[in-house]
Each structure stands twice: as structure tokens, then as C-alpha cells.
Amino acid sequence: MEFLHTHRAEMISMAVALVAIMGGTAYYYYVTKKPKGCLDPENFKEFKLVQRTQLSHNVAKFRFSLPTATSVLGLPIGQHISCRGKDSLDDEVVKPYTPTTLDTDVGYFDLVIKMYPQGRMSHHFREMHVGDYLDVKGPKGRFKYQPNEVRAFGMIAGGTGITPMFQVTRAILENPQDKTNIHLIYANVTYDDILLKEELDEFALKFSSQFRVYYVLNQPPEGWDGGVGFVSKEIIQAHCPAPAPDIKVLRCGPPPMNKAMATHLEALGYSSQMQFQF
């Protein structure tokens, strides 16, 4: 009987050891085999433009290839890249942009760019053709997202400020383990200025219990049923989660909008710890 107990104990010990070894091997494989990102935080690297899709008269999606079909950009969720180009006077210009793709999109990354008439970097993108190269450096940024770090995000975006919100939203909704709720307020001047509307509406339909979007237009078309004017305290109160230790409000837009939103949020009781500006 004692022999049987001893033998059983040895078998259990061996099984535990085997599980530990397998678990360690799996972790080692994950850490060592995880694709390395293509970015360099200190030096610019060139990426080839392989596709340009015009989305409106002044907005286009630029797709850049990575070194191999299985390469990933290596950009943490909520961070951005620095892009370098030449303005209309042939002077160097560097500007931050947030890709709309994630590291689950292998072999390429996308930038959705709104090209302003007087924009210095806008000129560079306007002149780009398939086959040209873009200088990119990164990752950059203070925001580092972890799944389920908050119960809910309020997001307030204006114009091209939607891109970091879109990136975080995609990461949350495409992760079945992430239960974070998202309440997005997206402001623009006209209906045609709304970027990524088709994708946002699809999110709202497919993930109706987790994602909500409320559009605000300064110059709405006839029959518009969204918000009108500028984002007000009342709009924030109605469409963002109430102040609480387990929520955070992200904001990204033109400087005057960011300033106004900070004032509104403070007046509504959102502490500095509950806010983040891209």
C-alpha cells in the first residue's frame, strides 16, 4: 500500500513537472517567435506606397508595404508614428499620424490622410504616387492600452482626431476577451468630412451592446438627426459615461476643440486622471 502511495505521488510530481515544462516552453515560444516590429524609435525607415485609395475630394487611404508578407508594424495600441516629407517649398516637415491598422494586419499598414490646401505634410501626401517611399519613425506617444483597464471609454474626436480613437476601438472590439464599453462623440463641419463613417457604423451595428457613436456636425444636411453645432457639456453628459474611477475620456481634435473639451469635462466632474489627450 505504501508503495502505491509513493508511486502515485511520484507520478503526480512528474505530471506537474511536465505541465510546468510545457507551459514554460509555450511561453518561451510566444516570446521568442512573436514577430518583431518594423519600427525604429530613433531612426527613420522607408516604407513603400503600394496602394492609394481616394475616399473623398481631400481624403485618401495610403497603404504601405512591410518588408515581408508576415511582418508587423509593431505599434502599441494608442501610439502613433512620425512621418517625414517635403512641403511645397521643398523644406523638411515631420508630423505624427496614427495608422488605422493593427498588428493583426500583417504585411502592411494604412494611413487615412486628410489633405488640407495649406498643410505642409498634406502637400507631401498629395504628391505621393504608388512606388514612392515614406520615411517613418516610432513608436511615439504616452498612451499604452491594456485590455479591460477601464470599464468604459468616453471618446471625443474632431476631424482627423478620429484615427487614434479608431485604432483603440478596433483593438477592443476585435478582442473577444476585452469587455470595455466605448462611447464615441465624433464632431465635424460637414457630413462629407466624417472619416471612416462606414467602418464606425458597422462597429455600431455589429457590437451594439459595446460600442456607440454620436455624430455632431457644425453644418448638417437637411434631415440630419445627429448633433448640431459644437460638442457641448450637455452632449458630453448625454453620450459619455459618467465620471467614475473606472472610466476614462479620450480626446483628440484641433487645439481649440481640445481646450474647450477640457473645460467642459472639468466642469462635469471628470478629474485629470479620468482624461487623456492624444
pLDDT in tens, 186-213: 999 999 999 999 999 999 999 999 999 9
* Least-confidence region, from 27-31, 136-140, 155-159, 265-269: 27-31
97, 145, 215, 270: the catalytic one is: 97
Domain end marker among 139, 173, 202: 139
21 is a domain residue: no
Residues 166 and 195 grouped into a single domain: yes
Considering the domain architecture, whether residues 167 and 133 belong to the same structural domain is answered as no
Say how far residue 271 (Cα) sits from the centre of its chain: 23
Whether 263 is catalytic is no
Q: Which of 38, 80, 83, 180 is catalytic?
A: 80
Catalytic residue, from 38, 83, 240, 252: name it.
252
The number of distinct structural domains making up the chain is: 2
Q: Please give the Cα distance from 213 to 206 (Å, whole number).
A: 12
- 214, part of any domain: yes
Q: Are residues 249 and 179 in the same domain?
A: yes
Same domain, 76 and 158: no
Q: Tens of pLDDT along 68-102?
A: 999 999 999 999 999 999 999 999 999 999 999 99
How many whole angstroms separate alpha carbon 181 and alpha carbon 253?
21
Could you tell me the pLDDT band of residue 56, with boundaries at 50, 70 and 90?
Answer: confident
Active-site pick, 38, 98, 108, 160? 98
Is 252 among the catalytic positions?
yes
Q: Average model confidence (pLDDT) for the chain?
A: 90
Q: Is position 186 annotated as part of the catalytic site?
A: no
Give me the CATH number covering residue 79. 2.40.30.10
28 is a catalytic site residue: no
Same domain, 249 and 188: yes
pLDDT tens-digit series, residues 134-168:
999 999 999 989 999 999 999 999 999 999 999 99
Per-residue model confidence (pLDDT) at position 29: 37
Domain limits at 156? 152-277
Pair (156, 273) in one structural domain: yes
Note whether residue 231 is domain-resident. yes
